[in-house]
Amino acid sequence: MNRPTKTVVALLTALSATAASVAIAEPAQAAVPSCMNVYQNKLTHGIQINSTCDRTIWIKVKWAFGSDSACKAVVPYKYNYYPRPNRFARYDGAYRC
């Protein structure tokens, strides 16, 4: 192999390694508004979201190592409870949907 061919091979190898390491970011999700409070039950590890908002807001709870909750409406001045999907699940955030 001559010198230009070795350079091209090295360059292509470097480019393919770089392309493989590029991560594709998920779209940003809106956080729970400040008029809502998120609590985790110490016994069941479920999530309770209390609303002091003046309007209905749809919320989804994300779980690591478990399936995410369905998108549920949190009515003004009420609360919703989101049970932990399994014993290994860890709370990973609540987002608007």
Domains identified in the chain and CATH numbers? 3-96 (2.60.40.20)
Place of tokens 């478990």: 66
pLDDT in tens, 40-87: 999 999 999 999 999 999 999 999 999 999 999 999 999 999 999 999
The closest alpha carbon to 74, from 91, 88, 61, 65, belongs to: 61
The pTM (predicted TM-score) of the whole model is 0.68
Name the average pLDDT for the chain.
82
| Tokens, residue 89 | 């699940």
Q: Whole-angstrom Cα distance, residue 51 to residue 69? A: 18
pLDDT in tens, 17-27: 444 444 454 55
